[in-house]
Amino acid sequence: MRQTGSYEVSTTLGEAVRAFVPHPLPPRQPALSPAGFESANRVAEMALARLAGVSGLVPSVDWLLYGALRKEALLTSQIEGTQATLVDLFDEEAGFAVGNADDVEEVSNYLRAFRRVQDNLRDPAGLPISVRLLCDAHRLLLAGVRGSGQQPGELRRSQNWIGGPRPGKAVFVPPPAERVPELLADVERFIHAGEQNDLPPLVRIALVHAQFETIHPFLDGNGRIGRLLIAALMEHWQLLPEPLLYLSAYLKQHQSMYYQLLSGIRTQGDWESWIAFFLDGVATAAGEAERSIVAIATLVNNDRRRLLAAPKATSASYRLFEALPLMPRFTVEHARQKLDTTFPTANAAVGLLAELGIVSELTGQKKNRSYGYQAYIDLLTR
């Protein structure tokens, strides 16, 4: 059996525990055999290429990114127990009251953290993928009420454990805190060595994610930052030009398998099963995202055709329609701002879309009416 790390005795809460210190990437003795991942890797890469291609079906990729980014943000947070829905997020962004503000804040924080990483990687003068950048992202992720006690932006300084009431009964005890910086530096080196490792980029991403979870460098937020790293590397290694994939849907659906396979790397030396699962997840999630894009494009094209055929269509109603995919829930005032027009003009544009059944009123009230592009929301949430 392959050894993927060694154990060190570490003390926490007065208990001596065996902490796992992973060997640096890539797997060795034996090294990964290409025969084990080649065909699954090809299928996953193809699925990503098709996903990238299908985004040309709509006038602006921003339409698709709006939903895809928010789905990933929501699902990765849900894996960690956040109770919020996509509609909560849309409502929060529209300034409507939401009941579970702390949960929604966590999801918004993820979006901020992801944007920070993406901005840096896209900017030639920005930070590369590095411990510093991940700490920056972590600070944004854990900003606010819930995360503030978890040392936002800082690597942990104490021993942690996963699963179980106390360290001695834990499913897994990550490396001692003083080993974390050098272990992360190893991961950084592996990332920047890129193709020199002779492994395809998706396989490298699978390795990096699992290694990151094994190191568990933060007190909290390790799952979300580790999955953020997947999305960032997909773009960085040019597997997908825009973050249209929401892999967390697959990870959430197979959550216990996901955790089990991460454990298996330590306990069975089994990198291969984790890599196979990850590649299958990428292919599955990419196929799902592709189908969702086709459905959205079909809906929006049909609705646009109906609007343009309506005798009462105006340029304001048309411009409002084109803005809907980026503001699926809105008020007349939002429409007015978006169109940069008068209230009566915006009101008439909203009225026409409502008459055509494209948007519907949500409150049933005469005042403070709000609207939603429900068919589109249904596609995103299905």
Ligand X SMILES: Nc1ncnc2c1ncn2[C@@H]1O[C@H](COP(=O)(O)OP(=O)(O)O)[C@@H](O)[C@H]1O
Question: Given the rule CB under 6 A, which residues bind ligand X?
Answer: 79-80, 162, 171-172, 213-214, 220-224, 226, 259, 262-263
Task: Give least dist CB 78 to ligand X, A.
Answer: 10
- Report the distance separating Cα 86 and Cα 9, nearest Å: 44
Task: Give least dist CB 176 to Mg ion, A.
Answer: 20
**From ligand X, Mg ion, none, interface partner of 224 (C-beta below 5 to 8 A by class):** ligand X
Helix (H, G, I), strand (E, B) or coil at 279: helix
Could you say whether residue 220 binds Mg ion (CB under 5 A)?
A: yes
**From ligand X, Mg ion, none, interface partner of 162 (C-beta below 5 to 8 A by class):** ligand X
Could you say whether residue 146 binds Mg ion (CB under 5 A)?
A: no
Could you say whether residue 333 binds Mg ion (CB under 5 A)?
A: no
Task: Give least dist CB 121 to ligand X, A.
Answer: 21
Task: Give least dist CB 152 to ligand X, A.
Answer: 12
Contacting residues for 137 by C-beta, under 8 A, at least 6 apart: 113, 114, 116, 117, 225, 228
Could you say whether residue 150 binds Mg ion (CB under 5 A)?
A: no
- Report the distance separating Cα 226 and Cα 209, nearest Å: 6
- The window from 115-123, 134-142, 197-205, 213-221 that contacts Mg ion (CB under 5 A) reads 213-221
User: Of 150 and 197, which has the nearer Cβ to ligand X?
Assistant: 150
User: Of 155 and 162, which has the nearer Cβ to ligand X?
Assistant: 162
**From Mg ion, ligand X, none, interface partner of 226 (C-beta below 5 to 8 A by class):** ligand X
User: Of 92 and 220, which has the nearer Cβ to Mg ion?
Assistant: 220
Are the CB atoms for 141 and 154 separated by under 8 Å?
no
Backbone φ, ψ for residue 160 (5° rounding): -120, 175
Taking each helix axis as running N to C, give the angle between helix 180-193 and helix 201-215, from 0 to 180 degrees, rounded to the nearest 10: 180
Q: Which residues pair with 15 in a beta bridge?
A: 12
- Report the distance separating Cα 275 and Cα 203, nearest Å: 6
Radius of gyration in angstroms for the set of CA atoms belonging to the chain, rounded to a whole number: 23
Region class of 151: left (phi > 0), else alpha (psi between -120 and 50), else beta: left
Task: Give least dist CB 213 to ligand X, A.
Answer: 4
- In the block, tokens 């060997």 appear at 23
User: Of 222 and 370, which has the nearer Cβ to ligand X?
Assistant: 222
Could you say whether residue 79 binds Mg ion (CB under 5 A)?
A: no
Could you say whether residue 80 binds Mg ion (CB under 5 A)?
A: yes
**From Mg ion, ligand X, none, interface partner of 281 (C-beta below 5 to 8 A by class):** none
Task: Give least dist CB 277 to ligand X, A.
Answer: 13
Task: Give least dist CB 131 to ligand X, A.
Answer: 16
Q: What is the DSSP code string of 20-59?
A: EEEPPSSPTTTTPPGGGTHHHHHHHHHHHHHHHHHGGGSS
Task: Give least dist CB 166 to Mg ion, A.
Answer: 17
- Report the distance separating Cα 354 and Cα 312, nearest Å: 12
**From Mg ion, ligand X, none, interface partner of 259 (C-beta below 5 to 8 A by class):** ligand X
- The window from 50-58, 89-97, 215-223, 345-353 that contacts Mg ion (CB under 5 A) reads 215-223
User: Of 79 and 362, which has the nearer Cβ to Mg ion?
Assistant: 79
What are the residue ranges of helices labelled H in 128-270? 131-141, 180-193, 201-215, 222-236, 248-253, 255-267
Are the CB atoms for 243 and 114 separated by under 8 Å?
yes
User: Of 61 and 79, which has the nearer Cβ to ligand X?
Assistant: 79
Going from the C-alpha of 31 to that of each of 203, 235, 277, the distances in angstroms are 13, 26, 18
Residue ranges binding Mg ion (CB under 5 A): 80, 220
